[in-house]
Chains A and B, each alone.
Chain A
Amino acid sequence: MRTYCFATRLFFIFSLVLFLHSAAVAADFPVRGSVTDENGPVAGVTVMEKGTANATTTDNSGNYALTVKNTNSVLVFTYVGYKTVEIAVSGRQVVNATIESSATELTGVVVTALGITREKKSLGYSVEEVAGKEMNRVAQENVLNAMSGKVAGVTINQTGAAGSSVSMVIRGAASLSSDNQPLFVIDGVPIANTLNNVSQVGNDNRVDYGNAIGGINPDDIESVSVLKGPSAAALYGSRAGNGVVLITTKTGKGMKKTTVNFVSSTVFEKPYKFLEWQSRFASGIYPAIPVGISGNIFTDPLGAQDPRFNPNYVIIDESGGAGGPELDKGYNALQWNSPLDENGKPIAIPLVSHPNNVKNFVQTGVTSTNGVSVANNTENMNYRVSLSDMRNRGIVPNSDLFRNTINFNSSLKVTKNFRLSTNMDFSRNRSNNRPAGERGANPMQWAYAVSANTDIRDLKDYWVPGQEGLAVRSTHPSANNPYFLANEVNNSFVRDRVYGNLRADWQITQDFSLMLRYGLDNINEKRQTTISNGYTSEPRGAYGISHISNFEGNADFLANYKKELGDFNISVSAGGNTRYQTGSSERTATKGGAGLIVPGVFTVQNILPANLDFNSYTSKKQVNSIYEMATIGFKDMVYIDVSGRTDWSSTLPGAKAYFYPSASMSILLNEIMGISSSKINLIKLRGGYAEAGNDTDPYKLVSVLGNAGTWGNIPRLGTSSTLLNANLLPEQATSYEAGIDVNLYQNRLRFAGTYYRVDNQNQIFSTDLAPSGGSRYKNINAGLLRSAGWEFTLGGTPLLTKNWRWDISANLTRNRVKIMELASEMPYFTYWADAKGGAYTFLGEEVGDIYGPKMRVVEDKSSPYYGYPLLDGGNEDGAKWIAEDALATKNKIGNFNPRFILGAQTSVSWKNWTLSATLDWRNGGQFVSQTYRYGIEDGRASLQFDNFFDPGTMSGKELRDYLVAHEDELIKPHGGKFIRVGWPTPERASYPVIISGFNLPYGGLFAPGVYENRDIDGNLIGYIENLGENILEKDADGKYIGTVPMLYAVSNPWDFTEPTLFSASYIKLRELSLTYALPKSLLSSLRMQDISFSVYSRNIMLWTQAKIGIDPENAYQPTTGTQGGIQFKQGIERYNVTPWSIPVGIKLNITF
């Protein structure tokens, strides 16, 4: 029976085939198939029946279907960047084609706005794409770090250690009201990301919880397109002002079978470079010498006044600075950790140096990432599911970071013309402890504050024995124990995120298609801080919890019509989007310094009601949009794009409509001129004009009442101190862009150059008001910021043989932003004011200018002392420099923006080996280091010694004459130098100094300069030299008439910004990797698709011009922002000093 059935079926099928074959020869014959390249299916390939106009294109899965005239027809497969392939149908119903990239044509299509894939040559603006494999050669915690140096015009800065926020600024920070971060769009769905993720519970416990983009698993990324200017991003309207980053995730397309990929990497980060801190002097304010050694009671002035005085040792002050006795000289001292004798009295112990304190405090960081994905592709469906797990142990003890992701991506061909696809991503980022930054609870600050006379490891057992949980061992009651901070100030968080979309694509006709999509992004984050008793700013502990949630839903549609009309190629799209956003937060915590009821019990119930700090916030926002775009191509020679978007935003007055137009043109000169040489492959001119915007947040139009605390038991309500603006306009960015692309020698040499200018108008910012009006600030719409710059990209393949391939590319960026207009009452805009100076930008000047106090000098040109520092002399404290106000003098000392940024990547392959490197050179710009400012003031920073001039054996007139002869280097202000003559100890010339009426025999330094000589009526009668003569001499009236030295410990230029202004130039070998892939022959015997093994390093070479152990990239300091919350200040850092490390990683990639 079974045999009969089989034979019958076989006969039936055979007959059917014969029938169909004969029918096909005679009439229309349907053919289908798929088109692939080396990477899998290729969408958009034109499949044409040769000799006819009968054609179609492949869909997203690379499939096509075409009815040809007969079974002998020939199919022609064409696609830009690929060799044309002709295949005879020969009676087959399934004709699959494999196309090869052509070196003679421009390669590449890119994803543009709204996810539309376009041929690169047709674009009239600059779009750069980074392939996923380029980003994943080296494992990075935050995907943005993987883009560093790879895209012209993009500046990426890690604001701190691993897990901290990463800033990405495209074509300069031209917005005064936003954090200048671009819009991130994953598979068409905008996702939330902001730079300012800093919050605190407890005093001075600022914690950067990292930006949400860090939750993406880099291994899920197929490619990233950067839409740099409004021309490229105009279709995103009021969100496009800072550029757009389009992330396309991996799918199952192109898989020939069920494919499992396993990626595992582990990276070890050993700290090796620390701040340039001195280990010569102990804690204290005077470099004392035991009286028994010196024979002079004044060499131990503190001890001499102490009842514990003993000539055999010194008594040091451990409350602050490191200007105490010299170490390793055989001196003994009473110290914080002195053992006690049988009578309970401390015993003096040797003063020895511990130069490796910070090195001993930090630990080797370890990050391990494991990921697995399963993917497949069938005729009707493709899918990819991935799981990843990242675990990071930080360099700071007890800090960690974890990330788990699940990504699901699938596409289902429901009918021939209808496809459903979805992408969902679930991630959890969490940490048991993110160490605080800035100053306060930052363990690194206090690790660096441990003076060299203390071995930091003595502080490891941080509880006072018998008082565990209540009292902390520290070098001084005012000092924090870094181990305590690392272990007992815990800032944990859990961030759960879901984003994704559901999408339907309907090919209604051959020319007309419709896309419908709904996308969402939902973030739920919980933060908890526990602070045990003992932190100096929260001595009775603190506790706080907060819950933050954000939701954004986007429903959009896009209709596309494509038609070829003779020499014209027309594409028209129209769509609409409705966006709905909600945000809320709740916070309950102890008020700053209020403390807990019971130590170590971390619950809200353990906070007295009067000590509770609580608030909640909620917001909603909706934006409706319509947009339209048309592209006209003529003979592959000229392409013109026009687009427009209209937004109605609920956060703007009356939800008024705002229109954002754009137009661009691409001219292919090589086509117009008919150049068909294989040496000249592309000469393209492009240009564009566009307008885009920056919307505003909710609650910016009308004041609302908020909790203003209580008056006794009476609750109070109040409004913001900022007067809001009910007529607010969105920021408007108008962009002009022009560029050229040239590809030569079969595309092995590629060049692109772009000039752009963006005028950013209607800036939203606050100006001061007279307090009598009831508000201190008012929000206004004003100003014009002009961002202009150049971008160049040069790439090529210098070597290409059977076994060798060498690719190299470089990009160069120069950007400048100027403030062209401001409000009439504002002569300048303040980015930040700190360190006695600030980043102020005056009208017509460049954004990023840093101003600092100016040293007062003799301005009388007829005086022999013209240009000499005019010191504040005449008193016992010494003659010191006078600082004149930074703003009043308009004393510009630097700019935090780079002169240019150059990024370079290279990859050399030999057989199965690949060596890749990414280099990043930032040239120019400066930053202020608050860490060094404190370090110099406290006597810890060794670079202070660079400013101490050693006169050798010179003294008196000889020294004075020498200084005058070298006045340009040793007296007059130059290059941020604040020269002092002398040394803290008698090792070199060290001058007597008067402290509290005591004439100390050494420890004084003098600032070369002069001070005013005035008569008894106060009239200036001349200048008194402070040049090394007549030390501490007075006239008969008791007035100083000679050089007046300052005590070493107070001789630092605290009142000036310039001494700690450093060059921000650096060169980083950001990535270096060596990969070995197993040969195909071996793989096939193992039934594997791919096995590769990599060793890599990040920042293996980090050269900074400043040479102070601080990465200029970290010059971001959190501060309370003018718009509320905490924001970052660029160009200044304070204790953002995680040591440099050389990460060494290994990575295994297996595909089967």
Chain B
Amino acid sequence: MKRNLKLITLLLLIAPALLISSCKKDEAPQKTLADAKKEWVTGTWKQKDITLGVTTSVKVGGNKIKLESGWSMLDHPTLNYLLTQGGQSPNPFAFTRNNVYAFNSDGTYKVDGDNDYSILFSLPEAGKSGAWDTEVYSSVLALFPAKDKRVPYWINTITASTLNLAITVNIPGLGDVPMNLLLEKQ
């Protein structure tokens, strides 16, 4: 009888603990937007376009020419005219047309292009390869072409199939110009 009493007492003590512990939900950790964005970055991307990032104007021969944000640096006639100096030289952004950017799941990246200009006018300072990561809630794509060099690129928008990176390209005579690098997942 005494043993039974002890058992009952023990059960009474344990029961609430069991009841409480059974209330705890076994929830799967929710994926944050930052996690999703990093996952989306991972993979191989083909360049779709490079567009002007700001609306601005330039003076050419006393004429003020307005340049609209969103114009293609590769194909827009006005920009093409300016960049080729009226067709006298090639458009440097045209060399980026076939660029392919691979952000591998092992944290390395590689940029393939037609020539050196291909990278200089798309991801300047990134070099052809290095390490990559995302920062600031995956809104920054940080490239590490060398151990002591960090080159950040702002991710304007990203989905599973599209990536829009903010880049700044130095155009001789104009200075640093904000642009957008538009990529499509392969």
Residues in A lying within 8 Å of B, measured CB to CB: 289, 292-299, 329, 952-953, 955, 985-989, 992, 997-999, 1001-1002
**Are the CB atoms of A295 and B140 closer together than 8 Å?**
yes
**Are the CB atoms of B154 and A294 closer together than 8 Å?**
yes
Complex Cα distance A850/B28, Å?
A: 45
**Does B171 belong to the interface (CB within 8 Å)?**
no
Partner of A295, one of B53, B154, B159: B154
**Are the CB atoms of B140 and A293 closer together than 8 Å?**
yes
Q: Mark the stretch among B73-81, B107-115, B131-139 that contacts chain A.
A: B131-139
Complex Cα distance A833/B166, Å?
A: 49
Chain B residue numbers with a CB within 8 Å of A952 are 33
**Are the CB atoms of B137 and A987 closer together than 8 Å?**
yes
Complex Cα distance A521/B184, Å?
A: 88
14 A-B residue pairs with CB within 8 Å: A292-B152, A294-B154, A295-B140, A295-B153, A295-B154, A296-B178, A953-B33, A986-B136, A987-B33, A987-B34, A999-B54, A999-B69, A1001-B156, A1002-B139
A955 to chain B, nearest CB (A): 7
**Does B36 belong to the interface (CB within 8 Å)?**
yes
- Smallest CB-CB separation from A1034: which chain B residue? B70
Chain B residue numbers with a CB within 8 Å of A998 are 54
- Smallest CB-CB separation from B135: which chain A residue? A293
A124 to chain B, nearest CB (A): 57
Chain B residue numbers with a CB within 8 Å of A989 are 33
**Are the CB atoms of A986 and B139 closer together than 8 Å?**
yes
**Does B168 belong to the interface (CB within 8 Å)?**
yes
B27 to chain A, nearest CB (A): 16
- Smallest CB-CB separation from A958: which chain B residue? B159
A992 to chain B, nearest CB (A): 7
Max count, chain B CB within 10 A of own CB: residue among A293, A989, A998: A293
A1108 to chain B, nearest CB (A): 28
**Are the CB atoms of B152 and A297 closer together than 8 Å?**
no
**Are the CB atoms of B154 and A1001 closer together than 8 Å?**
yes
B166 to chain A, nearest CB (A): 5
Complex Cα distance A1002/B156, Å?
A: 8
Add 11 more A-B contacts to A295-B153, A953-B36 (CB < 8 A): A289-B136, A294-B152, A295-B166, A298-B154, A298-B166, A298-B178, A299-B154, A986-B138, A986-B139, A988-B33, A999-B54
**Are the CB atoms of B178 and A295 closer together than 8 Å?**
no
A1040 to chain B, nearest CB (A): 14
**Are the CB atoms of B151 and A992 closer together than 8 Å?**
no
B149 to chain A, nearest CB (A): 13
**Are the CB atoms of A293 and B178 closer together than 8 Å?**
no
Partner of B55, one of A293, A295, A955, A997: A997
Chain A residue numbers with a CB within 8 Å of B69 are 999
Complex Cα distance A314/B36, Å?
A: 28
Partner of B136, one of A294, A988, A992: A294
List residues 156-172 of chain B with CB under 8 A from any CB of chain A: 156-157, 159, 166, 168
Chain A residue numbers with a CB within 8 Å of B137 are 985-987
Complex Cα distance A499/B140, Å?
A: 75
Complex Cα distance A126/B154, Å?
A: 75
A958 to chain B, nearest CB (A): 10
Chain B residue numbers with a CB within 8 Å of A987 are 33-34, 137
Max count, chain A CB within 10 A of own CB: residue among B153, B154, B157: B154
Closest 5 CB pairs of A and B: A295-B152, A296-B154, A986-B139, A986-B137, A296-B166
Annotate B120-145 by CB proximity to A: 1 below 8 A, 0 otherwise: 00000000000000011111100000
Complex Cα distance A998/B136, Å?
A: 21
Complex Cα distance A295/B156, Å?
A: 11
**Are the CB atoms of A293 and B156 closer together than 8 Å?**
no
A601 to chain B, nearest CB (A): 55
Complex Cα distance A998/B166, Å?
A: 14
Chain A residue numbers with a CB within 8 Å of B140 are 293-295
Complex Cα distance A414/B143, Å?
A: 104
**Are the CB atoms of A1001 and B166 closer together than 8 Å?**
yes
Partner of A992, one of B153, B156, B168, B178: B156
Annotate B8-23 by CB proximity to A: 1 below 8 A, 0 otherwise: 0000000000000000
Chain B residue numbers with a CB within 8 Å of A985 are 137
- Smallest CB-CB separation from B152: which chain A residue? A295
B60 to chain A, nearest CB (A): 22
Max count, chain B CB within 10 A of own CB: residue among A299, A955, A998: A299
Complex Cα distance A998/B152, Å?
A: 21
Chain B residue numbers with a CB within 8 Å of A997 are 55
B164 to chain A, nearest CB (A): 10
Chain B residue numbers with a CB within 8 Å of A297 are 168, 178
Complex Cα distance A1042/B168, Å?
A: 27
Max count, chain A CB within 10 A of own CB: residue among B135, B136, B137: B136
Complex Cα distance A509/B153, Å?
A: 105
- Smallest CB-CB separation from B178: which chain A residue? A297
A286 to chain B, nearest CB (A): 15
Partner of B159, one of A296, A299, A955, A1002: A955
B127 to chain A, nearest CB (A): 15
B179 to chain A, nearest CB (A): 11
Complex Cα distance A987/B35, Å?
A: 11
Complex Cα distance A953/B139, Å?
A: 13
Chain B residue numbers with a CB within 8 Å of A992 are 156
Complex Cα distance A332/B135, Å?
A: 17
Chain A residue numbers with a CB within 8 Å of B178 are 296-298
B168 to chain A, nearest CB (A): 7
Complex Cα distance A325/B63, Å?
A: 40
- Smallest CB-CB separation from B160: which chain A residue? A953
Complex Cα distance A296/B142, Å?
A: 12
Max count, chain A CB within 10 A of own CB: residue among B54, B151, B152: B152
Given the contacts A987-B34, A999-B69, A293 and B54 also touching, CB distance less than 8 Å:
no
A1118 to chain B, nearest CB (A): 45
Complex Cα distance A295/B69, Å?
A: 19
Chain A residue numbers with a CB within 8 Å of B34 are 987
B163 to chain A, nearest CB (A): 13
Chain B residue numbers with a CB within 8 Å of A986 are 136-139
Complex Cα distance A1012/B55, Å?
A: 27
List residues 24-80 of chain B with CB under 8 A from any CB of chain A: 33-34, 36, 53-55, 69
Chain A residue numbers with a CB within 8 Å of B156 are 992, 1001
Max count, chain B CB within 10 A of own CB: residue among A329, A987, A992: A987
A585 to chain B, nearest CB (A): 62
Complex Cα distance A297/B152, Å?
A: 11
Chain B residue numbers with a CB within 8 Å of A289 are 136
Chain B residue numbers with a CB within 8 Å of A999 are 53-54, 69
Complex Cα distance A140/B138, Å?
A: 57
Max count, chain A CB within 10 A of own CB: residue among B34, B36, B55, B139: B139
- Smallest CB-CB separation from A1002: which chain B residue? B139
- Smallest CB-CB separation from A951: which chain B residue? B33
Complex Cα distance A1001/B154, Å?
A: 9
A151 to chain B, nearest CB (A): 43
Complex Cα distance A294/B137, Å?
A: 11
- Smallest CB-CB separation from A955: which chain B residue? B159
Chain A residue numbers with a CB within 8 Å of B33 are 952-953, 987-989
Chain A residue numbers with a CB within 8 Å of B135 are 293
Chain A residue numbers with a CB within 8 Å of B54 are 998-999
- Smallest CB-CB separation from B151: which chain A residue? A295
Chain A residue numbers with a CB within 8 Å of B136 are 289, 293-294, 329, 986
B45 to chain A, nearest CB (A): 17
Complex Cα distance A656/B15, Å?
A: 81
Chain A residue numbers with a CB within 8 Å of B36 are 953
Complex Cα distance A294/B54, Å?
A: 17
- Smallest CB-CB separation from B55: which chain A residue? A997
Max count, chain B CB within 10 A of own CB: residue among A294, A989, A997: A294
Chain B residue numbers with a CB within 8 Å of A1001 are 139, 154, 156, 166
Chain A residue numbers with a CB within 8 Å of B168 are 295-297
Complex Cα distance A199/B168, Å?
A: 60
Complex Cα distance A293/B154, Å?
A: 9
B59 to chain A, nearest CB (A): 19
A1004 to chain B, nearest CB (A): 12
Complex Cα distance A633/B36, Å?
A: 87
